[in-house]
């Protein structure tokens, strides 16, 4: 996936035509060449007054220029607190945060030059779409002509050219969130921070806007920091994902790394389905993804070097393009295997099988 830094090459997926949406002359000014700006989080903690446990606990993370970084974790794991500290809405108890090497920890939010979007769009209800988007520019006292040009460019970016004169209440939730996105990037911030921006939308709109956000990222080349508790959303959008659990970073990696090589039980179980087997050579549990597990009627057919556990097939569910085979292992634990639809099913419910896997396909994890 190449990251275009040319503002006039608009992707045309999604069907709507964007020809003629080319930007004003200075539109590329802030597109900081390839890659935007890097954010470094060093040993950051925050303990809210009266709380015994830190909401964010000694987090260190480098976000690369132009990267799409997602904070993923369950509710209460510290994602919003971490994002708020980057934005400047919450103070740090320890550590520092820098952009391009300069410490921003003590700057007021508006001095950090970061765009922010929340779950609830927080548009000004009495202002038109265009005036909403132009607001940060007027605040920065840009000349009128420049405001108009930048607003036009931002409207084109989120494909709302025809809605410039509407009021927020005359827009759908998805459109309102696109206005919020346009308003957050119109002044060319050093990064865009988003806290569950799709959380209030229904599934279809959410999918649509996911595509829009991915396209914006490609077109702007800007650093994006995105918060979600939805693993699918994180896997779809991100260059890398930082998994949060109880205020701590569990693991940071590309979607593939996290899925194929989880380092902790938490990551294995939060992202995708896992079979967890104890009793490996070094004592750590082994995680095997359902598609890596093969079912055999007897030990004769298990390939040399593969490991196996006895299991009873509990149920077989047809899930769109594959079958999910529920398993009950002899040690009492449960798990699943997966087969593409159209392939022969290896067993029937009630049958006992050997669930086997190539040890190269398991990940040893820490509890």
Ligand X SMILES: Nc1ncnc2c1ncn2[C@@H]1O[C@H](COP(=O)(O)OP(=O)(O)O)[C@@H](O)[C@H]1O
Burial letters 8-17, b for 16+ CB under 10 A, else e = eebeeeeeee
Q: Are 247 and 55 in contact (CB under 8 A)?
A: yes
Region 41-100 residues binding Mg ion, contact defined as CB under 5 A: 80
Q: Cα separation of 116 and 118, whole Å?
A: 7
65 binds, among ligand X, Mg ion, none (CB under 5 to 8 A by kind): none
Nearer to Mg ion, 153 or 196 (CB): 196
Instruction: Please give the size of the binding site for ligand X, defined by CB under 6 A.
Output: 11
**Binding of ligand X at residue 55 (CB under 6 A)?**
yes
Contacts of 105 (CB under 8 A, 6+ apart): 92, 95, 96, 97, 98
* Vertex 226 angle, CA 223 and 228, to 5°: 165
Closest separation in Å from C-beta 7 to ligand X: 33
Closest separation in Å from C-beta 343 to ligand X: 40
Q: Cα separation of 218 and 3, whole Å?
A: 5
User: Alpha carbon of 330 to those of 60, 304, 354: distances in Å?
Assistant: 41, 22, 10
**Binding of Mg ion at residue 7 (CB under 5 A)?**
no
The secondary structure element, H or E, covering residue 322 is strand 322-329
Residue span binding ligand X (CB under 6 A) among the ranges 69-77, 177-185, 250-258, 342-350: 69-77
Closest separation in Å from C-beta 79 to Mg ion: 5
Contacts of 149 (CB under 8 A, 6+ apart): 23, 24, 26, 27
Nearer to ligand X, 48 or 124 (CB): 48
Region 184-243 residues binding ligand X, contact defined as CB under 6 A: none
- DSSP-based three-state secondary structure for 256: helix
112 binds, among ligand X, Mg ion, none (CB under 5 to 8 A by kind): none
Q: Cα separation of 339 and 324, whole Å?
A: 7
263 binds, among Mg ion, ligand X, none (CB under 5 to 8 A by kind): none
Nearer to ligand X, 33 or 74 (CB): 74
136 binds, among ligand X, Mg ion, none (CB under 5 to 8 A by kind): none
89 binds, among Mg ion, ligand X, none (CB under 5 to 8 A by kind): none
Binding test (CB under 6 A) with ligand X, winner from 30, 65, 73, 290: 73
Q: Are 94 and 58 in contact (CB under 8 A)?
A: yes
Q: Sketch the per residue contact string, 76 through 105, with ligand X: x for CB under 6 A, - otherwise.
A: xxxxxx------------------------
78 binds, among Mg ion, ligand X, none (CB under 5 to 8 A by kind): ligand X
Nearer to Mg ion, 135 or 270 (CB): 270
Could you list the residues that contact ligand X (CB under 6 A)?
A: 48, 51, 55, 73, 75-81
């Amino acid at each position: 996936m190449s990251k275009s830094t040319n503002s006039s090459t608009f992707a045309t997926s999604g069907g709507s035509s964007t020809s003629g949406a080319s930007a004003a002359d200075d539109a590329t000014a802030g597109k900081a060449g390839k890659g935007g700006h890097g954010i470094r989080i060093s040993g950051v903690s925050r303990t809210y007054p009266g709380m015994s446990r830190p909401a964010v606990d000694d987090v260190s993370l480098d976000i690369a220029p132009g990267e799409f970084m997602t904070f993923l974790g369950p509710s209460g794991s510290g994602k919003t607190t971490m994002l708020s500290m980057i934005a400047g809405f919450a103070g740090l108890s320890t550590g520092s945060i820098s952009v391009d090497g300069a410490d921003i920890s003590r700057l007021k939010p508006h001095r950090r030059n970061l765009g922010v979007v929340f779950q609830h769009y927080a548009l000004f209800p009495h202002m038109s779409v265009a005036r909403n988007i132009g607001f940060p520019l007027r605040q920065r006292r840009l000349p009128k002509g420049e405001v108009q040009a930048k607003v036009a460019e931002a409207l084109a970016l989120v494909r709302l050219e025809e809605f410039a004169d509407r009021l927020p209440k005359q827009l759908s939730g998805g459109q309102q969130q696109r206005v919020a996105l346009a308003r957050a990037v119109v002044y060319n911030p050093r990064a865009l921070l988003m806290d569950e921006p799709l959380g209030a939308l229904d599934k279809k709109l959410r999918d649509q806007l996911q595509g829009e956000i991915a396209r914006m990222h490609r077109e702007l080349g800007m650093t994006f920091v995105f918060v979600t508790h939805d693993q699918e959303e994180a896997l779809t959008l991100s260059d890398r994902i930082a998994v949060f659990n109880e205020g701590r970073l569990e693991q940071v990696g590309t979607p593939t790394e996290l899925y194929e090589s989880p380092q902790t039980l938490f990551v294995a179980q939060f992202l995708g389905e896992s079979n967890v087997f104890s009793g490996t050579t070094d004592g750590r549990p082994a995680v095997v993804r359902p598609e890596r597990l093969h079912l055999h009627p007897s030990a004769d057919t298990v390939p040399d070097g593969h490991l196996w556990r006895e299991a009873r097939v509990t149920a077989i569910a047809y899930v769109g393009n594959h079958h999910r085979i529920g398993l009950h292992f002899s040690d009492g634990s449960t798990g699943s295997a997966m087969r593409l639809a159209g392939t022969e099913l290896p067993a029937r419910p009630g049958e006992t099988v050997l669930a086997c896997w190539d040890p190269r396909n398991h990940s040893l994890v820490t509890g």
